[in-house]
Amino acid sequence: MVKTSGHTRKKRIVFAKTASSLLLAVGVSCSAQKIATHTPPPVFTEQQRLDYEHDFMEGIKSKLMGDFPNAANLLTRCTEMNPGDATAYFALSEIYTIVNDRPAALKNARFAVQHDAKNVWYKLHLAGLYATGQKTDSAIQVYRDIIALQPDNPDMKFDMVILYLENKQYKQAIRELKKIERTYGFTEEVAIAQYRIYSAKKDVKATEKTLLKGIEKYPYELRFYGLLAELYSSVGKERKAQENYQKLLEVDPENALGYISMIEFYKDYGNEKRVLEEMRRMYNMKTINPDIKVELYLSLAADSVFFGKYVAELDSMIAQLAAKNPDNLRVRMVNADRNLRQKDFAAAKDDMLFLTEKVTTNIFLWEQLLYLLNFLQDNEALLESSAKALQHFDNSYLFNFFHGMAASALKKYDEAIVSYNRTLECMAKEKSPDKDVELQAYVFLGEAYNEQKTYAASDNAFEKALSIAPDNALVLNNYSYYLSLREEKLDVAEQYIKKCLAIEPASNTYLDTYGWVLYKLGRIDEAIAVIEKVIRNGGNDNPEIVNHLCELLVRAGRMEEADRVCRQALEMENNSTATVEQKINSFKQHKAD
């Protein structure tokens, strides 16, 4: 019996790239440089290397799909195979951060930094975990390490100032800020940082002086007017507060960048309520370009902590923006992300079809669409869309492979065979082809040839698949089953199914195939014993297995038992109009060795 998902015969790849993959940074690249500073790289056999690369890629794909338990299992296995794999530790830390398992996130972030001590991205992630966990002293120490690596990076220095501020170490914050000012001058960032420090200290005079100096040097910077207005309001100077709010509006009453600046300030200042209020006001302004609204959304969404906290509010604004601007490409792109994240795959499909219709030469968009259609098993749309994609990217092995899978599912085997062969031709030109896709291409090609009764080509394709993965239980089982159906090379079929069962001895599907091979070899009593074992192990709910036992009992002449089992099979086949006698007679007519 062919190993399947449910009762379908094809094992499909169903990974799909999701929300964060379209426009938001994933945070890790599968091709990222891996530098192990404490653990030497392991010496892999070729099969171990293939297993490792497969687990890593599938782990990242599962992470993108939101299947975090599977992603964590696969990536943990990678760290067990290669304890110095900083990239896997970092990806695990990101996963545990998302699912709010802070101890595991922190543990893996430390490992990532330990094994790649010069990776600033890993250190920033670790510092962020420390900071959100109220371990500010530890976060500051990590930032000192980062600044030692990047002494000319002012952003890192500013971040450390903010950490001192949040830790109420005002003297240290002012000292570091003065160093920045001596190097870079009185910039807007310096002014805002000074404002935050003096405000935290409740030093009204110093705060006012800083903001007035900011307005003098940057008269068109709206934030200073707004901040000064708030300062005056907080100390009861309503007139001065009103004057500064009016000045802000006089500078530019509908300036999109002014809104963005104000929103960014409120976010930096921690006033998240005002961030959302101002964002809603900006989104309701018809005069502001939708693309600018998308940019604001992306800038806020890039902060995973803020985005996780306010995802419902932000998504609501994007949904409204998409409803008002259905023809805007950037709006539809982020809306596709939103739909994927909310698992509204039908709506995401509409977005992606629209995008690929308008932007036909973007391979990334086509890839996202085909992954999604494959995940949905929408074979008609997958066949049509992959054909359109191939008009622009005919050398893409992945697009040819998707086209072949859709054709196979629709029983267009001639078309599928052409696509699978084209897949393999394109893969032969790749320096590092995806071995998993190559394996499946050979397996599906073998099945397509088998359906067309081109058995020599089918056998050749299965043998090629086994040359790639000689211990793949699924391939061993399916090839053995096809040989048994044809009653050819039964000695080979028995060899392969025994090897398959040595790998997965408890599989009812594989035991059923073994029983069927024994039957075709004329060893009926052995076959019955095997199938009865399958029935005892839970196979009694599978009509194909029950029918196999019924046929074997008929061939063995055990008619009373055959009658009982056939009745059970007919009860499971709701649409069958056959009688027990007809079913038994049909089995009697089957030719047996």
Per residue in 503-557, pLDDT tens? 999 888 898 899 889 988 989 888 888 888 887 887 677 777 877 887 777 777 7
pLDDT, residue 258, reads 60
For the segment 247-258, the average pLDDT, to the nearest whole number, is 69
CATH superfamily of the domain spanning 343-470: Tetratricopeptide repeat domain (1.25.40.10)
pLDDT, residue 575, reads 56
pLDDT, residue 51, reads 86
Tokens of 162: 């903010």
C-alpha–C-alpha distance, residues 137 and 117, integer Å: 19
Answer yes or no: same fold for 343-470 and 494-593.
yes
pLDDT, residue 12, reads 35
pLDDT, residue 577, reads 60
Task: Give residue limits of the domains in the chain.
Answer: 343-470, 494-593
Check: CB of residue 26 under 8 Å from CB of residue 64.
yes
> Does the pLDDT value for residue 126 go beyond 70?
yes
For the segment 434-460, the average pLDDT, to the nearest whole number, is 94
Query: Which of 54-58, 232-236, 283-287, 412-416 comes out lowest in average pLDDT?
Result: 232-236
pLDDT, residue 470, reads 94
> Does the pLDDT value for residue 41 go beyond 90?
no
Mean pLDDT of the chain: 84
State the CB neighbour count (10 A cutoff) for residue 538: 10
> Does the pLDDT value for residue 562 go beyond 60?
yes
- Amino acid at site 77: R
> Does the pLDDT value for residue 171 go beyond 80?
yes
- Amino acid at site 155: D
Q: What is the DSSP string of 507-532?
A: -HHHHHHHHHHHHHTT-HHHHHHHHH
C-alpha–C-alpha distance, residues 83 and 475, integer Å: 31
Residue 72 pLDDT level (bands cut at 50, 70, 90)? very high
Query: Which of 127-136, 213-222, 225-234 comes out lowest in average pLDDT?
Result: 225-234
More confident residue, 1 or 65: 65
pLDDT, residue 7, reads 37
Residue 69 pLDDT level (bands cut at 50, 70, 90)? very high
C-alpha–C-alpha distance, residues 451 and 462, integer Å: 14
> Does the pLDDT value for residue 9 go beyond 80?
no
Residue pointed to by tokens 């005056």:
232
pLDDT, residue 246, reads 62
C-alpha–C-alpha distance, residues 58 and 120, integer Å: 26
Query: Which of 120-134, 252-266, 443-457, 493-507 comes out lowest in average pLDDT?
Result: 252-266
More confident residue, 162 or 108: 108
Residues in Cβ contact with 116 at an 8 Å cutoff, skipping those fewer than 6 apart: 34, 35, 36, 37, 86, 87, 122
Domain 494-593 bears CATH identifier 3.40.50.720 = no
Check: CB of residue 94 under 8 Å from CB of residue 59.
no
Query: Which of 236-250, 285-299, 301-315, 551-565 comes out lowest in average pLDDT?
Result: 236-250
> Does the pLDDT value for residue 436 go beyond 80?
yes
C-alpha–C-alpha distance, residues 54 and 74, integer Å: 9
Q: What is the DSSP string of 207-239?
A: HHHHHHHHHHH-TT-HHHHHHHHHHHHHTT-HH
For the segment 32-37, the average pLDDT, to the nearest whole number, is 39
Check: CB of residue 321 under 8 Å from CB of residue 298.
no
> Does the pLDDT value for residue 343 go beyond 80?
yes
pLDDT, residue 22, reads 36
More confident residue, 195 or 245: 195
State the CB neighbour count (10 A cutoff) for residue 150: 13
For the segment 548-572, the average pLDDT, to the nearest whole number, is 76
For the segment 290-317, the average pLDDT, to the nearest whole number, is 92
pLDDT, residue 478, reads 93
pLDDT, residue 226, reads 83
Distances (CA, A) of 211 to 27, 38, 190, 235, 549: 36, 49, 11, 15, 86
For the segment 482-506, the average pLDDT, to the nearest whole number, is 93
C-alpha–C-alpha distance, residues 426 and 65, integer Å: 27
C-alpha–C-alpha distance, residues 417 and 426, integer Å: 14
Query: Which of 181-185, 293-297, 486-490, 529-533 comes out lowest in average pLDDT?
Result: 529-533
Contacts 24+ apart (CB under 8 A), 580-587: 583/550, 584/550, 584/554, 584/559, 587/550, 587/551, 587/554, 587/555, 587/562
State the CB neighbour count (10 A cutoff) for residue 257: 11
Summarised one tens digit per residue, pLDDT across range 456-480 is 999 999 999 999 999 999 999 999 9
Classify 538 in phi/psi space as left (phi over 0), alpha (psi -120 to 50) or beta. left
Residue 6 pLDDT level (bands cut at 50, 70, 90)? very low
More confident residue, 266 or 82: 82
Alpha-helical runs (H) found in 435-539: 435-451, 455-468, 473-486, 490-503, 508-520, 524-536
> Does the pLDDT value for residue 370 go beyond 70?
yes
> Does the pLDDT value for residue 157 go beyond 50?
yes
- Amino acid at site 575: N
pLDDT, residue 44, reads 79
Torsion angle of alpha carbons 187, 191, 196, 201, nearest 10°? 130
C-alpha–C-alpha distance, residues 483 and 276, integer Å: 64
Summarised one tens digit per residue, pLDDT across range 185-206 is 998 889 988 998 999 999 999 9
> Does the pLDDT value for residue 293 go beyond 90?
yes
Check: CB of residue 290 under 8 Å from CB of residue 325.
yes
Residue 212 pLDDT level (bands cut at 50, 70, 90)? very high
